[in-house]
């Protein structure tokens, strides 16, 4: 069960061209494309005529044409033309979903379109600032989206999983402060006089120990932004990890991934090495997420046992449950 009245990252804008792409979001097959005028469109990926996926079709101008018998739909999902006949049955239409490009992602609204307010897209302003160099990537991860969120909300895993990359070995000496603000879950850990992970030492030219601050923000449905600040007496650097996580199915997740830095150069070799390093870090997480899902899939009946480091992830899960109950209550009222 997924929250529907939320914005989910659905694509990178560069993926949206006149060539339709099919993607499953929250269990629903969606087709997305960009029309000749530049409008981005998301529709149900199923022709109402005879089941052909519209993602196999062709975008021509402002319409998409089904590959099978050539029926055409406009960006609102209304049928624009049926070959060989003049009349269009009322039911010959597909559902359209609000789709908005912002901050380097295309965001889809899976619920009631009347409630789709683009101001509720998470405010990731740093993507518009010249102070930050960002790059984007996508991972398809065979694990439930809440397991993927847990990974980012409990960074106490970094000295273990990321020992060879960004982990700080003595992180456990410093408490994690966690609080909520409306539907947001926030956390902060301040660490002083700690050994930086190998990548961090290289990025900041840190020769010895450093101070560091980690700030994390979670917003529903599952958008996580982590700010990592590192400094010694001569230098400081900040890295931002922006991860909108989008459920594909109950056991698979689209991980959208952007790393933004206020350090380093734009030289091709620097960028290439930095992107390679970021991949190594994410790969370390993805391997474990897949293993966790395999344990969930074998139907292990034992409950999990919470520890102090779980505070933020448990708060996020509670918020999702509350919002799900609210969505259900609204839906019940609408059908009463
Ligand atoms: S199945 Fe789409 S036009 Fe026939
Ligand atoms: Fe990690």
Residue with tokens 């989206």: 145
Q: What is the mean pLDDT of residues 68-72?
A: 98
Element (H, E) at 79: strand 79-81
Let me know: does 127 contact 260? Beta carbons within 8 Å: yes
Q: Is the pLDDT score of 300 beyond 80? A: no
pLDDT tops 90 at residue 336 = no
DSSP state of 93: B
3-state helix, strand, coil in the chain (%, to 5): 30, 35, 35
| 66 ligand 1 Cβ < 6 A | yes
Strands (E), the chain: 7-11, 21-25, 28-34, 40-44, 58-60, 63-65, 72-73, 79-81, 96-97, 99-102, 105-109, 133-141, 176-181, 184-194, 210-219, 223-231, 236-249, 252-261
| CA quadruple 19, 6, 224, 257: dihedral, nearest 10 | 0
Residue nearest to atom 3 of ligand 1 (CA): 69
Mean pLDDT of 179-194: 97
Q: Is 86 buried (19+), middle (13-18) or exposed (0-12) by CB count in 10 A? A: exposed
pLDDT band at 289 (very low <50, low <70, confident <90, very high): very high
Which atom belonging to ligand 1 lies closest to the Cα atom of 57? 2
For the cut 80, the answer to whether the pLDDT of residue 321 exceeds it is: yes
For residue 46, report the phi and psi dihedrals to the nearest 5 degrees.
-155, 120
Q: What confidence tens digit (pLDDT) does each residue in 108-155 have?
A: 999 999 999 999 999 999 999 999 999 999 999 999 999 999 999 999
CA distances 98 to 9, 40, 94, 150, 226, Å, are: 12, 9, 13, 28, 27
Nearest CA to ligand 1 atom 4: 69
Which of 44, 47, 77 is the best mutation target for the ligand 1 pocket, counting ligand atoms within 8 Å of the beta carbon and taking the most?
Answer: 47
Q: What is the pLDDT of residue 65?
A: 98
- Pick from 43, 56, 68, 80 the residue to mutate for probing ligand 1's pocket: most ligand atoms within 8 Å of its CB: 68
Closest ligand 1 atom, residue 54 Cα:
2
Percent of the chain at pLDDT above 90? 91
135 is written with which tokens?
Answer: 């790059």
The pTM score is 0.95
Answer whether 81 contacts ligand 1 (Cβ < 6 A): no
* CB of 106 closer than 8 Å to CB of 100: yes
- pLDDT at residue number 246: 98
CA distance 98 to 81: 23
**pLDDT, mean over the chain:** 95
The protein residue with its alpha carbon nearest to ligand 1, atom 1, reads 50
| Ligand 1 atom closest to 82 (CA) | 3
- Bridge partners for 212 per DSSP: 191, 230
Per-residue pLDDT at 234: 95
pLDDT at 167 over 90: no
Ligand 1 nearest-atom number relative to CA 52:
1
Whether the pLDDT of residue 59 is over 90: the answer is yes
Q: Is the CB of 47 under 6 A from ligand 1?
A: yes
Q: What is the pLDDT of residue 134?
A: 94
The one-character DSSP state at 82 is B
Of all residues in the chain, the percent with pLDDT exceeding 70 is 100
Mean pLDDT, to the nearest integer, of 161-184? Answer: 91
Does ligand 1 come within 6 angstroms of the Cβ of 50? yes
Model confidence at 179: pLDDT above 80: yes
Q: Judge if the upstream peptide bond of residue 238 is cis by omega within 30 degrees of 0.
A: no
Q: Which of 43, 63, 66 gets mutated to test ligand 1 (max ligand atoms within 8 A of its CB)? A: 66
pLDDT score at 168: 81
CA of 287 to the centre of ligand 2 (A): 10
**From 16-30, 105-119, 205-219, 321-335, the region with the lowest mean pLDDT:** 321-335
Separation of 47 CA from ligand 2 center, angstroms? 40
Q: Give me the pLDDT at residue 255, please.
A: 97
Which bound ligand lies closest to the C-alpha atom of 82? Answer: 1
Task: Quote the Cα angle for 150-153-157, to 5°.
Answer: 80
Q: What is the mean pLDDT of residues 24-42?
A: 98
Which of the ligands is closest to the CA of residue 85?
Answer: 1
Mean pLDDT of 76-97: 97
What pLDDT sits at residue 334? 84
Match 């101008």 to its residue by tokens.
61
Ligand 1 and 49: CB distance under 6 A = yes
- Specify the range with the lowest mean pLDDT, choosing from 29-38, 65-74, 171-180, 218-227: 171-180
- Residue 178: which residues within 8 A CB-CB, separation 6 or more? 185, 186, 187, 311, 312, 315
**Any residues with CB less than 8 A from the CB of 105 and at least 6 apart, and which?**
9, 10, 11, 12, 13, 136, 244, 256
Domains for the chain: give ranges and CATH numbers: 7-119 (2.102.10.10), 126-323 (3.90.380.10)
């Amino acid at each position: 069960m997924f929250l529907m009245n939320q914005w989910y990252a659905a694509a990178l804008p560069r993926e949206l061209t006149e060539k339709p792409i099919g993607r499953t979001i929250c269990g629903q097959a969606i087709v997305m494309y960009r029309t000749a005028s530049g409008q981005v469109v998301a529709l149900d990926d199923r022709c109402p005529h005879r089941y052909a996926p519209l993602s196999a079709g062709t975008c021509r101008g402002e319409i998409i044409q089904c590959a099978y018998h050539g029926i055409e739909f406009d960006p609102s999902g209304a049928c624009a033309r049926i070959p060989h006949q003049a009349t269009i049955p009322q039911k010959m239409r597909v559902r359209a979903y609000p789709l908005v490009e912002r901050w380097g992602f295309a965001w889809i609204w899976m619920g009631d379109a009347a409630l789709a307010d683009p101001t509720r897209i998470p405010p990731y302003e740093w993507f518009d600032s010249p102070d930050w160099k960002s790059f984007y990537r996508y991972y398809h991860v065979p694990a439930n989206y809440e397991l993927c969120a847990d990974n980012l909300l409990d960074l106490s895993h970094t000295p273990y999983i990321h020992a060879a990359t960004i982990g700080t070995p003595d992180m456990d000496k410093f408490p994690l402060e966690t609080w909520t603000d409306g539907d947001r879950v926030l956390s902060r850990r301040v660490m002083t006089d700690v050994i930086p992970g190998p990548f961090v030492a290289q990025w900041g030219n840190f020769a010895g120990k450093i101070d560091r601050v980690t700030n994390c923000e979670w917003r529903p449905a599952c958008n996580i932004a982590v700010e990592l600040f590192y400094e010694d007496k001569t230098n400081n650097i900040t890295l931002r990890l922006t991860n909108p996580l989008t459920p594909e199915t109950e056991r698979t997740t689209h991980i959208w991934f952007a790393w933004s830095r206020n350090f380093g150069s734009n030289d091709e070799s620097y960028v290439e090495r930095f992107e390679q390093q970021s991949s190594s870090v994410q790969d370390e997480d993805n391997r474990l997420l897949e293993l966790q899902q395999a344990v969930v899939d074998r139907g292990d009946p034992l409950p999990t046992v919470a520890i102090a480091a779980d505070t933020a992830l448990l708060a996020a899960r509670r918020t999702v449950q509350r919002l799900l109950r609210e969505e259900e209550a609204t839906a019940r009222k609408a059908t009463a």
